[in-house]
Structure 1
Amino acid sequence: MQLTVTDTGPTLVIAVGEARIDAAIATRFKDHLREVVVHHRKPVVMQMGAVDFMDSSGLGAMIALRKALSEDLPLTLEGLTPNVERVFRLTRMDTVFDIRPEAENEE
Protein backbone atom coordinates (compact mmCIF):
# COMPACT_ATOMS: atom_id res chain seq x y z
CA MET A 1 0.00 0.00 0.00
CA GLN A 2 1.40 3.34 -1.05
CA LEU A 3 0.88 5.93 1.67
CA THR A 4 3.14 8.71 2.87
CA VAL A 5 2.39 10.05 6.33
CA THR A 6 3.89 13.38 7.36
CA ASP A 7 3.38 14.96 10.77
CA THR A 8 3.63 18.72 10.18
CA GLY A 9 3.05 19.55 13.85
CA PRO A 10 -0.52 20.84 13.87
CA THR A 11 -1.71 18.50 11.09
CA LEU A 12 -1.17 14.97 9.85
CA VAL A 13 -0.77 14.90 6.05
CA ILE A 14 -1.39 11.59 4.32
CA ALA A 15 -0.53 11.31 0.62
CA VAL A 16 -2.30 8.36 -0.97
CA GLY A 17 -0.22 6.89 -3.79
CA GLU A 18 -2.67 4.17 -4.79
CA ALA A 19 -4.47 4.49 -8.14
CA ARG A 20 -7.45 2.48 -6.83
CA ILE A 21 -9.14 2.24 -3.46
CA ASP A 22 -11.43 -0.72 -3.99
CA ALA A 23 -12.42 -4.04 -2.42
CA ALA A 24 -8.93 -5.43 -3.01
CA ILE A 25 -7.26 -3.00 -0.58
CA ALA A 26 -10.07 -1.26 1.31
CA THR A 27 -9.78 -3.29 4.51
CA ARG A 28 -5.99 -2.93 4.76
CA PHE A 29 -6.27 0.77 3.83
CA LYS A 30 -8.88 1.38 6.53
CA ASP A 31 -7.10 -0.61 9.26
CA HIS A 32 -3.71 0.97 8.62
CA LEU A 33 -4.99 4.53 8.43
CA ARG A 34 -7.25 4.13 11.44
CA GLU A 35 -4.19 3.13 13.52
CA VAL A 36 -2.25 6.13 12.21
CA VAL A 37 -4.96 8.75 12.86
CA VAL A 38 -5.94 7.38 16.27
CA HIS A 39 -2.29 7.35 17.35
CA HIS A 40 -1.65 10.96 16.27
CA ARG A 41 -4.99 12.51 17.37
CA LYS A 42 -4.79 15.63 15.20
CA PRO A 43 -6.50 17.05 12.09
CA VAL A 44 -5.87 15.02 8.95
CA VAL A 45 -5.33 16.27 5.40
CA MET A 46 -5.51 13.44 2.88
CA GLN A 47 -3.99 14.16 -0.52
CA MET A 48 -5.94 12.04 -3.00
CA GLY A 49 -4.67 13.26 -6.38
CA ALA A 50 -3.22 9.86 -7.36
CA VAL A 51 -6.49 7.98 -6.77
CA ASP A 52 -8.30 7.47 -10.08
CA PHE A 53 -10.93 4.99 -8.89
CA MET A 54 -12.87 4.38 -5.70
CA ASP A 55 -15.70 1.89 -5.25
CA SER A 56 -18.18 1.49 -2.39
CA SER A 57 -15.60 -0.48 -0.36
CA GLY A 58 -13.18 2.41 -0.66
CA LEU A 59 -15.89 4.87 0.29
CA GLY A 60 -16.73 2.71 3.31
CA ALA A 61 -13.07 2.79 4.33
CA MET A 62 -13.09 6.60 4.15
CA ILE A 63 -16.24 6.76 6.28
CA ALA A 64 -14.67 4.43 8.85
CA LEU A 65 -11.61 6.69 8.92
CA ARG A 66 -13.84 9.75 9.49
CA LYS A 67 -15.56 7.93 12.36
CA ALA A 68 -12.20 6.99 13.91
CA LEU A 69 -11.45 10.68 14.39
CA SER A 70 -13.25 12.60 17.10
CA GLU A 71 -15.79 15.08 15.77
CA ASP A 72 -13.61 18.06 16.65
CA LEU A 73 -10.76 16.80 14.42
CA PRO A 74 -11.33 17.57 10.74
CA LEU A 75 -10.56 15.18 7.90
CA THR A 76 -9.88 17.17 4.74
CA LEU A 77 -9.66 15.49 1.33
CA GLU A 78 -7.57 17.35 -1.23
CA GLY A 79 -7.14 17.00 -4.96
CA LEU A 80 -9.86 14.47 -5.76
CA THR A 81 -9.88 13.30 -9.35
CA PRO A 82 -13.20 13.72 -11.19
CA ASN A 83 -14.07 10.01 -10.88
CA VAL A 84 -13.49 9.94 -7.13
CA GLU A 85 -15.21 13.27 -6.58
CA ARG A 86 -18.24 11.89 -8.43
CA VAL A 87 -18.47 8.98 -5.95
CA PHE A 88 -18.57 11.43 -3.03
CA ARG A 89 -21.09 13.69 -4.77
CA LEU A 90 -23.46 10.90 -5.88
CA THR A 91 -23.54 9.41 -2.38
CA ARG A 92 -23.89 12.87 -0.81
CA MET A 93 -20.72 12.21 1.19
CA ASP A 94 -19.45 15.53 -0.13
CA THR A 95 -21.62 17.04 2.63
CA VAL A 96 -19.86 14.94 5.29
CA PHE A 97 -16.25 15.43 4.20
CA ASP A 98 -14.34 18.69 3.77
CA ILE A 99 -13.29 18.41 0.11
CA ARG A 100 -10.84 20.86 -1.41
CA PRO A 101 -9.95 21.01 -5.10
CA GLU A 102 -6.18 20.84 -4.78
CA ALA A 103 -3.44 20.50 -2.21
CA GLU A 104 -2.38 23.72 -0.59
CA ASN A 105 1.31 24.57 -0.47
CA GLU A 106 2.81 24.25 2.99
CA GLU A 107 5.71 26.57 2.12
Structure 2
Amino acid sequence: MDISATLNPTGLVIRVNEARIDAAVAIEFKEAVRAAVDAPGNPIILDLSKVTFLDSSGLGAVVAVLKLLGPERPLQLAGLTPSVAKVFRLTRMDSIFTIHETVPGALKAAG
Protein backbone atom coordinates (compact mmCIF):
# COMPACT_ATOMS: atom_id res chain seq x y z
CA MET A 1 0.00 0.00 0.00
CA ASP A 2 1.49 3.27 -1.13
CA ILE A 3 0.82 6.09 1.31
CA SER A 4 2.78 9.17 2.27
CA ALA A 5 2.63 11.24 5.44
CA THR A 6 3.41 14.94 5.73
CA LEU A 7 3.48 16.77 9.03
CA ASN A 8 2.05 20.29 8.82
CA PRO A 9 1.76 22.84 11.62
CA THR A 10 -1.98 22.15 11.87
CA GLY A 11 -2.08 18.39 11.31
CA LEU A 12 -0.65 15.19 9.88
CA VAL A 13 -1.72 14.58 6.27
CA ILE A 14 -1.74 10.97 5.13
CA ARG A 15 -2.14 10.68 1.36
CA VAL A 16 -3.30 7.39 -0.13
CA ASN A 17 -1.46 7.00 -3.43
CA GLU A 18 -3.62 4.14 -4.69
CA ALA A 19 -6.76 4.06 -6.83
CA ARG A 20 -8.52 1.40 -4.74
CA ILE A 21 -9.09 0.54 -1.12
CA ASP A 22 -10.87 -2.79 -1.26
CA ALA A 23 -10.82 -6.26 0.30
CA ALA A 24 -7.51 -7.05 -1.39
CA VAL A 25 -5.65 -4.22 0.35
CA ALA A 26 -7.77 -3.33 3.42
CA ILE A 27 -5.40 -4.98 5.92
CA GLU A 28 -2.35 -3.47 4.21
CA PHE A 29 -4.06 -0.06 4.31
CA LYS A 30 -4.73 -0.32 8.06
CA GLU A 31 -1.15 -1.37 8.78
CA ALA A 32 0.33 1.39 6.62
CA VAL A 33 -1.83 4.05 8.27
CA ARG A 34 -1.09 2.62 11.74
CA ALA A 35 2.63 3.02 11.06
CA ALA A 36 2.14 6.56 9.71
CA VAL A 37 0.13 7.78 12.70
CA ASP A 38 3.01 7.00 15.02
CA ALA A 39 4.20 10.46 13.98
CA PRO A 40 2.85 13.38 16.02
CA GLY A 41 0.16 15.65 14.68
CA ASN A 42 -3.44 16.51 15.38
CA PRO A 43 -5.72 16.13 13.57
CA ILE A 44 -5.01 13.30 11.15
CA ILE A 45 -6.19 14.25 7.67
CA LEU A 46 -6.67 11.30 5.33
CA ASP A 47 -6.29 12.50 1.74
CA LEU A 48 -8.37 10.22 -0.48
CA SER A 49 -8.15 12.35 -3.64
CA LYS A 50 -6.45 9.57 -5.64
CA VAL A 51 -8.85 6.85 -4.48
CA THR A 52 -11.54 6.16 -7.10
CA PHE A 53 -12.94 2.94 -5.61
CA LEU A 54 -13.80 2.06 -2.02
CA ASP A 55 -15.77 -1.06 -1.12
CA SER A 56 -17.23 -2.16 2.22
CA SER A 57 -13.88 -3.64 3.29
CA GLY A 58 -12.16 -0.35 2.49
CA LEU A 59 -14.81 1.57 4.40
CA GLY A 60 -14.35 -0.81 7.32
CA ALA A 61 -10.60 -0.17 7.21
CA VAL A 62 -11.15 3.61 7.38
CA VAL A 63 -13.51 3.12 10.33
CA ALA A 64 -10.91 0.87 11.99
CA VAL A 65 -8.36 3.69 11.71
CA LEU A 66 -10.87 6.06 13.31
CA LYS A 67 -11.28 3.64 16.23
CA LEU A 68 -7.51 3.10 16.48
CA LEU A 69 -6.90 6.83 16.88
CA GLY A 70 -9.61 7.32 19.48
CA PRO A 71 -11.24 10.60 20.43
CA GLU A 72 -7.97 12.32 21.35
CA ARG A 73 -6.70 12.20 17.74
CA PRO A 74 -9.49 13.16 15.34
CA LEU A 75 -9.49 11.64 11.86
CA GLN A 76 -10.73 13.90 9.10
CA LEU A 77 -11.15 13.06 5.42
CA ALA A 78 -10.31 15.24 2.44
CA GLY A 79 -10.51 15.15 -1.33
CA LEU A 80 -13.13 12.44 -1.74
CA THR A 81 -13.77 11.56 -5.38
CA PRO A 82 -17.46 11.39 -6.36
CA SER A 83 -17.65 7.59 -6.18
CA VAL A 84 -15.96 7.46 -2.76
CA ALA A 85 -18.11 10.33 -1.46
CA LYS A 86 -21.18 8.38 -2.58
CA VAL A 87 -20.14 5.37 -0.45
CA PHE A 88 -19.78 7.60 2.61
CA ARG A 89 -23.11 9.28 1.89
CA LEU A 90 -25.06 6.04 1.25
CA THR A 91 -23.73 4.42 4.43
CA ARG A 92 -24.28 7.65 6.37
CA MET A 93 -20.64 7.65 7.39
CA ASP A 94 -20.56 11.27 6.22
CA SER A 95 -22.27 12.04 9.53
CA ILE A 96 -19.49 10.27 11.48
CA PHE A 97 -16.47 11.78 9.73
CA THR A 98 -15.55 15.41 9.18
CA ILE A 99 -15.13 15.63 5.42
CA HIS A 100 -13.37 18.49 3.60
CA GLU A 101 -13.32 19.13 -0.13
CA THR A 102 -9.56 19.64 -0.20
CA VAL A 103 -6.51 19.07 1.99
CA PRO A 104 -5.71 22.82 2.13
CA GLY A 105 -9.30 23.40 3.27
CA ALA A 106 -8.90 20.76 5.97
CA LEU A 107 -5.63 22.28 7.17
CA LYS A 108 -7.16 25.75 7.21
CA ALA A 109 -10.14 24.49 9.24
CA ALA A 110 -7.79 22.74 11.69
CA GLY A 111 -5.68 25.86 12.17
- What amino acid maps onto 2:39 in structure 1? H
40-49 vs 26-35, greater mean Cα deviation: 40-49
Q: CA deviation at 1:7?
A: 1.6
Partner of 1:50: 50
Separation (CA, whole Å) in 1 of partners of 2:89 and 2:17: 22
Q: CA deviation at 1:11?
A: 1.4
- What amino acid maps onto 1:56 in structure 2? S
Give the gaps of 5 or more residues in structure 1.
none
What are the Cα deviations for residues 36-91 of structure 1, in whole angstroms up to 9, with x where unaligned?
22x23532011111000000000000000000112132211111001000100111
Separation (CA, whole Å) in 1 of partners of 2:90 and 2:10: 32
Separation (CA, whole Å) in 2 of partners of 1:61 and 1:76: 14
Q: CA deviation at 1:9?
A: 4.1
- What amino acid maps onto 2:63 in structure 1? I
Aligned pair count?
Answer: 105
Structure 1 runs (4+) deviating above 3 angstroms are none
Partner of 2:100: 100
- RMSD over equivalenced CA pairs, Å: 1.6
Instruction: Give secondary structure in 2 for the equivalent of 1:50.
Output: coil
Give the gaps of 5 or more residues in structure 2.
none
- What amino acid maps onto 1:31 in structure 2? E
Separation (CA, whole Å) in 2 of partners of 1:89 and 1:33: 23
- What amino acid maps onto 2:69 in structure 1? L
Equivalent runs, 1:1-107 vs 2, <5 Å: 1-37=1-37, 39-41=38-40, 42-104=42-104
- What amino acid maps onto 1:51 in structure 2? V
